[in-house]
Structure formats: C-alpha cells, structure tokens
Amino acid sequence: MSDLTEELSRLQARFDRAVEEAGDEAALENVRVAYLGRNGEVTKVRRTIGTLAPQERPGAGKAINDAVAAIEARLEERQSRLQSHAFEEELAASIDVTFPATPSGLGSIHPVRRIVAQSCAYFTRHGFAVVVGPEAEPDYYNFDALNIPSDHPARESFDSFWLTGTMLLRPHTSPMQVRTMQQHAPPIAIVAPGKCYRRDAVDARHLFQFHQVEGLLVAEGIHFGHLKGMLTGLCRELFGSNQSVRFRPSYFPFTEPSAEVDTTCPKCRGTASTCNMCGGSGWIELGGSGMVHPNVLREVGYDPERYSGWAFGFGVERLGLARYEVDDIRRFITSEPDFLRQLS
C-alpha cells in the first residue's frame, strides 16, 4: 500500500513536469494519453491493484481515483490557460484595413437599364405590366394608328430610318400602345421601355439611337390628374422626394390634351442661371404626355365615351444626363469602361 502511495506521488510529480512542459493543446493531449490513456501510466498502476491484499484494495482504489481526479483537474486548468494564451496571440494580430481590396469581379448593368428598371419597378408597384416589342415596325403602328395620317406634318418631325416602303425603325415606343390595346381589352396599364431611332445629327444632346420609356393607362374614369400623380411619383422615385414636376400644354397628334413634362433641374435646382444642365431655366424636359386621343382609342376598337386614358414617353438617356450629371449624351452609347464603372 505504501509502495502504491509512493508510486502515485512519483507519478504525479512526473505528470506535473510534463504538464508544465506541454506548450500547446496538442502536446497537452499527448500528456493526457500518456497518463490516462489505455496504456497510460495511471492505468498501469490501476492494474496492480489485483496484486494487493483484498483489504488494501479499497484504500488503493480510492488513492488512484483521487490521483486521477487531481490529474484531470490539472489538465483542465492547463488546457484553459493554453487556450486563452492562444487567443491572446491570435488577437494580437493587426492589419492595415485601408489596404486596397481585392477586386470582387462583380459586373454591372448599363445606366440606361438601371433607369429603365427603376422606372418600371415604380410602375409595377402600382399595378402596371411591362411589355417589350419590335424595333422595326410598320408605319401603321408608328403613325396611322396614332392619328398621324400619311400627309400629316408631324410625320416629318419623326425623321425616321426607313427599311422598306412601309417598315421603319420606330422613332418612338408608342407602337406598343397600339399593339397592347389591340391584343387586350381595357383596362390597360403598361410601361413599354425600348430602343428608338431618329435621323438626328449626333451631338452632346442628341443621339440617333436612344431609349424611351412609354406608359399607358386606359380604363374607365382615368383623367389628367392621374397622369400628373403618376409622373410626379416617378420623378420623385428617380430624383428624390423634393422633386417638382411641371406640365406644360403642347401638341402631339396622339394625345389631347397634350403636355410636355419638366422636372426641377437636379443639378442646380433652379438656382444657377449659368447651369449647363438646364440652361438656367431650372427645369429639364423629360418628354411628352397627354390624354389618349379619341381617334387612337377608336382605332383599336375602344369606346372613347366610356374609356379614357393617358400616355407618356420619356427619353431615358435624357433622364440619365440629368440624373448622373453626364456632360455628353454620346457617353451612353460609347459605353467606355470608366463611364460604366463610375455609374455601376
């Protein structure tokens, strides 16, 4: 029995040294296995109990269990010290967070699509659908069905690219009004974004290929006030909640009454007489709008006595000029990498 006690105290002394020497958790685990493992030193001592006299065995058992408990406590304590030491080391690390990031590799959508998507999202939130259609269209959809007969002077204001005697590249997105109304009975609530073409000389404010967003709402009881409400909301969506919108009388063959739509110049907000965005007027022109002409409704078989509606068409690049304060509209089609990166 005293041999065993001695043996245990020598074992514990060796163990204490081994624990002190274990510099990390892996070394400590090796110590644990060496003492408490299947072939560990404590296990070996326990196996000697069978050689003791029966009356000594309980005392020996207790002594071994006490030793095991002490070893386990010591292991646990050492482990938690090693762990906190490891955390301290890890937490001592410090980097320069201002060092340039690794590029993400994310691409981008073109600013035109961004404006189109945002405008369409506004309208879809209010229950409109978004429709798209062809760019090569017969004159019927571009003109005749829109109350612009063949000898009408307004045809010349849509200076168009002709493909055949009757087909042309659409100079506006309004053909989608006619196409949609011919396919569906009222009510109609659509926006129609898309590319348009006009034979305009290209300069800082003009492109011969540009985008429009068209809108059309036809139902019973639709009036001009609804047009003002929706377009005011659109401008606030695109330019911010302080945006004012102005409707000026104008002339388009397919609407009556007709209106030009202006919004507060987002660059100078009407404060700079030399502003190069609005020319000092404080307003930028967004496009045309108005109540759908009764002749257009009749052409698609709608009863203008019962149904009324409004339509509008805005130039997307024009919106883009104002929104992003772009100096030259041609940048939207040259798509230079730096332009796309800045506006992504």
Partner 1 sequence: MLVPISWLREYVALPDETEAIAERLAMLGFPVAAIERRPRISGVLTGRIASVEKHPNADRLLVARVDVARENPLTIATAATNVAAGQTIAVATIGARLPQLTIEARTMRGVASQGMMISAEELALSAEWFEDGIMQLDGTIEPGLDAVELFGLETDVIDVEITANRPDSMSIVGLARELAASYGVALTLPSFANPGSAEEPPGESPVVSIESPDCYRFVAQRFAGIAVKPAPAWMRVRLALAGQRPINNLVDVSNYVMLETGQPLHFYDAAMVAGPRFVVRNAREGEKIVTLDGVERTLGKQALVIADEERALGLAGLMGGASSEVTATTTAIVLEAANFNGTRVRRMSAALGLRSEASSRHEKSLAPALTDIGAARAAQLLCELGATAYRPRTFGGEVVASPAIALRVADVERLLGLPIEARRVAAHLAALGCAVGPEKEGTLAVTPPLWRRDLTIPADLIEEVARVEGYERIPAVVPSVPPHEISSAAFELENSIAQTLAALGYREIVTHSLRADDEGDAVEVRNPLSEEHRFLRSSLAPGTIEYLAGIATPARVFEIGQVFRRDGEQIDERTAVAFGFSAGRGDEPPWRDSNFLRLKGDCEALLRAVTGREADILPGTHAALHPGKTGIVRIDEIELGAVGCVDPRLSKAFELPGNAYLCLLNANAIPAYRTPHYRAPSRFPSTYRDLALVVATTVAAREVEHAVSEVLGALCTGVAVFDEYRGPQVERERKSLAVRITLQRFDATITDEEADAAIERVLDAMRERFGATIRA
Give the footprint of partner 1 on residues 278-297 (CB under 8 A). Answer: 291, 293-294
Closest CB to partner 1 among residues 54, 337: 337
By CB under 8 A, residue 193 contacts partner 1:
yes
Inter-residue contact 261 to 290 (CB < 8 Å): no
Inter-residue contact 275 to 265 (CB < 8 Å): yes
For partner 1, which stretch binds (CB under 8 A), given 52-60, 67-75, 79-87, 111-119? 111-119
Q: Which of 12, 43, 232, 243 binds partner 1 (CB under 8 A)?
A: 232
By CB under 8 A, residue 321 contacts partner 1:
no
Residue 28 belongs to what H/E stretch?
helix 25-36
Please list every residue from 127 through 166 that binds partner 1, using CB under 8 A: 127-132, 134-136, 151, 153-154, 156-157, 161-164
Min CB(193)–partner 1 separation in Å: 7
Q: By rule CB under 8 A, what count of residues binds partner 1?
A: 82
Angle at 251 between CA 245 and CA 284, to 5 degrees: 30
Q: How far is CA 214 from CA 77, 101, 130, 174, 175, in A?
A: 74, 41, 10, 7, 10
Q: Which of 88, 11, 89, 85 is nearest to 45 (CA)?
A: 11
Min CB(312)–partner 1 separation in Å: 13
Min CB(101)–partner 1 separation in Å: 15
Please list every residue from 18 through 57 that binds partner 1, using CB under 8 A: none
Inter-residue contact 268 to 239 (CB < 8 Å): no
Inter-residue contact 241 to 266 (CB < 8 Å): no
For partner 1, which stretch binds (CB under 8 A), given 20-28, 68-76, 90-98, 122-130? 122-130
The 8-class DSSP code of residue 76 comes to H
Peptide bond into 257 cis (omega under 30): yes
Min CB(294)–partner 1 separation in Å: 6
Q: Which of 133, 193, 137, 145 is nearest to 161 (CA)?
A: 137
Min CB(142)–partner 1 separation in Å: 14
| Structure tokens that stand for 177 in this block | 């009004």
Please list every residue from 201 through 230 that binds partner 1, using CB under 8 A: 201, 208-209, 217, 219, 221-226, 228-230
Inter-residue contact 101 to 326 (CB < 8 Å): no
Closest CB to partner 1 among residues 22, 282: 282
How many angstroms separate the CA atoms of 193 and 258, rounded?
21
Min CB(324)–partner 1 separation in Å: 15
Window 238-277: contact mask with partner 1 (x via CB under 8 A) = -------xxxxxxx----xxxxx-----------------
For partner 1, which stretch binds (CB under 8 A), given 59-67, 72-80, 92-100, 192-200? 192-200
By CB under 8 A, residue 195 contacts partner 1:
yes
